[in-house]
């Protein structure tokens, strides 16, 4: 398999960034906005711009790089299948941007796209755990691969609650994964990850708060799907097994935020797919951070996760791997306790009921509830932010 030089990766990144910026900023995409957004000059151009840049940048580089051209020719079936599945996700997101699609239909389309990706060879079959243990998923491989793809597709969409978050996170995740993928001798997937990073880099300047261009569901779902699929191939080593800890750690922020969303909704006896305003970015805002400070705080968290993933891959010293996992776990613990999620889960409806039932079973008298106030209780996610506590960035 031919390898690619640094100049090829740089050219892919530059062309993807230039293409995404040009499509986002220059094309007359006035129709790609809801009426209220159009009045503010905000257009939902992210998905189309990123998909076009991701598609065209490697093809243009093939005109000057015979190595990349040979790689694309040798894997044209897999590449066409990935692009076809990504196009399905893009069209689903565009439809959802302007006519809200029922979550059941969204899941069906996402499962179909994930199934196509599995058929063409993007599979989680043999998994390597840290410190050497390897096992085969056997008959569960199709279900777990599809679950991974659908989960991360929606995870990236869930973190796109504020301008600049999803596109910036995608860059921070894609770049280290590209280094790792090139290191395990999969240069085509590395070039595709670089194209994702470049497309997001071209789009991000127009998406930082206050944004004039929006990523939309089309862009967020597309980025989640592409990163999930490419992370599978990018984490497969020379033995053919997937080193699962690398993509999990690199994608730690969207995974953590999505798991927290599902767990806290279920713990409060709410539907897990009903949207709310209690994600990590919302809690940071409740603590008084400005929009840009929220974005940069999340970037810093993602850089920590990506650094841990690089450490796990490149450093074979057990002490270094332990340090990387410790930093990963410490960051998660800090999010749970500093942002109040641990307390919220402990006082959730289901855990409160279980604590009461357990206390009754062992004969412990429960403390009487505090006297009711005439003031209605406001859920955490709906509490207004006092202007005096909002710190300018």
For 113-135, the DSSP string reads: HHHHHHHHT----EEE-GGG-EE
Question: What's the average model confidence in pLDDT over 308-312?
Answer: 89
What is the rounded distance in angstroms from the CA atom of residue 211 to the CA atom of residue 160?
A: 13
Least reliable range by pLDDT among 140-149, 203-212, 256-265: 203-212
Q: How far is CA 308 from the centre of its chain?
A: 17
Q: Which of 32-46, 77-91, 126-140 has the lowest mean pLDDT?
A: 32-46
Q: Which pLDDT does position 307 carry in this prediction?
A: 92
Do 235 and 191 contact (CB within 8 A), yes or no?
Answer: no
Phi, psi of 127 (to 5 degrees): -120, 130
Average pLDDT over the chain reads 85
Q: How far is CA 340 from CA 186, 255, 284, 298, 334, in A?
A: 42, 18, 10, 17, 10
User: Which comes out higher in pLDDT, residue 227 or 133?
Assistant: 227
Percent of the chain, pLDDT > 70? 85
Beta carbons of 199 and 47 less than 8 angstroms apart: no
Confidence of residue 125 (pLDDT cuts 50, 70, 90): confident
State how far the Cα of 172 lies from the Cα of 303, in Å rounded to an integer.
6
Residue 389, CA distances (Å) to 57, 287, 294, 324, 386 in order: 45, 8, 14, 35, 5
User: What is the structure's pLDDT at 40?
Assistant: 44
The length of the chain in residues reads: 393
pLDDT of residue 252: 92
Phi-psi region of 140 (alpha: psi -120 to 50; beta: other; left: phi over 0): alpha
Question: Which pLDDT band, with edges at 50, 70 and 90, does 330 fall under?
Answer: very high
Which of 165-179, 219-233, 276-290 is predicted least confidently? 276-290
């Amino acid at each position: 398999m031919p390898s690619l030089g640094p100049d090829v990766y740089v050219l892919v990144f530059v062309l993807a960034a230039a293409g995404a910026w040009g499509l986002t900023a220059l094309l007359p995409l006035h129709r790609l906005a809801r009426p209220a957004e159009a009045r503010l000059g905000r257009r939902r151009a992210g998905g189309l711009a990123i998909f076009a840049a991701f598609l065209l940048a490697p093809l243009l580089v093939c005109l000057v790089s015979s190595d990349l051209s040979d790689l694309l020719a040798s894997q044209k079936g897999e590449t066409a299948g990935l692009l076809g599945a990504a196009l399905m996700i893009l069209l689903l997101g565009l439809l959802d941007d302007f006519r809200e699609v029922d979550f059941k239909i969204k899941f069906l389309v996402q499962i179909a796209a994930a199934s196509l990706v599995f058929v063409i060879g993007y599979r989680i079959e043999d998994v390597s755990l840290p410190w050497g243990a390897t096992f085969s998923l056997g008959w569960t491989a199709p279900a777990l691969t599809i679950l991974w793809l659908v989960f991360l597709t929606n995870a990236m969409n869930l973190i796109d609650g504020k301008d600049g978050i999803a596109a910036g996170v995608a860059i921070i995740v894609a770049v280290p994964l590209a280094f790792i993928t090139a290191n395990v001798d999969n240069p085509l997937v590395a070039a595709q990850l670089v194209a994702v990073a470049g497309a997001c880099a071209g789009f991000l300047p127009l998406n930082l708060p206050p944004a004039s261009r929006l990523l939309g569901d089309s862009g967020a779902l597309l980025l989640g799907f592409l990163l999930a699929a490419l992370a599978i191939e990018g984490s497969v080593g020379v033995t053919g097994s997937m080193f699962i800890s690398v993509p999990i750690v690199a994608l730690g922020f969207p995974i953590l935020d999505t798991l927290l969303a599902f767990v806290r909704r279920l713990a409060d006896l709410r539907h897990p797919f009903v949207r709310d305003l209690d994600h990590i970015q919302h809690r940071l805002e409740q603590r008084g951070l400005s929009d840009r400070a929220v974005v940069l705080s999340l970037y810093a968290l993602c850089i920590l996760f990506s650094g841990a993933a690089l450490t796990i891959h490149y450093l074979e010293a057990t002490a270094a791997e332990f340090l990387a996992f410790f930093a990963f776990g410490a960051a998660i613990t800090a999010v749970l306790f500093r942002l109040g999620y641990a307390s919220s889960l402990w006082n959730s409806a289901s855990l409160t009921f279980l604590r009461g039932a357990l206390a009754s079973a062992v004969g412990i008298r429960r403390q009487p509830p505090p006297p009711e106030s005439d003031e209605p209780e406001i859920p955490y996610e709906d509490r207004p932010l006092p202007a005096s506590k909002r710190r300018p960035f």
